[in-house]
Amino acid sequence: DVVLTQSPLSLPVTLGQPASISCRSSQSLVDSDGNTYLNWFQQRPGQSPRRLIYKVSNRDSGVPDRFSGSGSGTDFTLKISRVEAEDVGVYYCMQSTHLGTFGQGTKVEIK
């Protein structure tokens, strides 16, 4: 089974400053079709999750451009260029190359 390991698990950030979350997979997420199905989700307090990034680096419709995704193979990163108050919540990476697996989640809070 694929295991996704996120770090850090808690991320206190100052408003306006950048933030970065790492997601490492126990095996390559490159599919036989050549795509890498690594997604990033945001879950704000009391809300259902929503996807921010699909296939490593593609932003979903309506997602602010301060969110970006990068990486390849087994190592992936979500970056927020300038954190805003509405970005508070838990962020999850999720792979769908090998069925489905979520990372443990990273809680982003304002310092």
Please, which residue, 81 or 102, has the CB nearer to another protein? Answer: 102
Please, which residue, 55 or 81, has the CB nearer to another protein? Answer: 55
Q: Is 88 a binder of another protein (CB under 8 A)?
A: no
Restricted to residues 42-71, the positions that interact with another protein (CB under 8 A) are: 43, 48-51, 54, 60-63
Q: Is 105 a binder of another protein (CB under 8 A)?
A: yes
Is residue 72 within 8 Å of 81, Cβ to Cβ? no
Contacts by 82-87 with C-beta closer than 8 Å and gap 24+? 82/16, 82/17, 82/18, 83/13, 83/14, 83/15, 83/16, 83/17, 83/18, 83/19, 83/108, 83/110, 84/15, 84/16, 85/15, 85/110, 86/44, 87/19, 87/42
Q: Is 76 a binder of another protein (CB under 8 A)?
A: no
Please, which residue, 57 or 101, has the CB nearer to another protein? Answer: 101
Please, which residue, 51 or 66, has the CB nearer to another protein? Answer: 51
Q: Which residues bind another protein (CB under 8 A)?
A: 1, 39, 41, 43, 48-51, 54, 60-63, 90, 92, 94, 96, 99-105
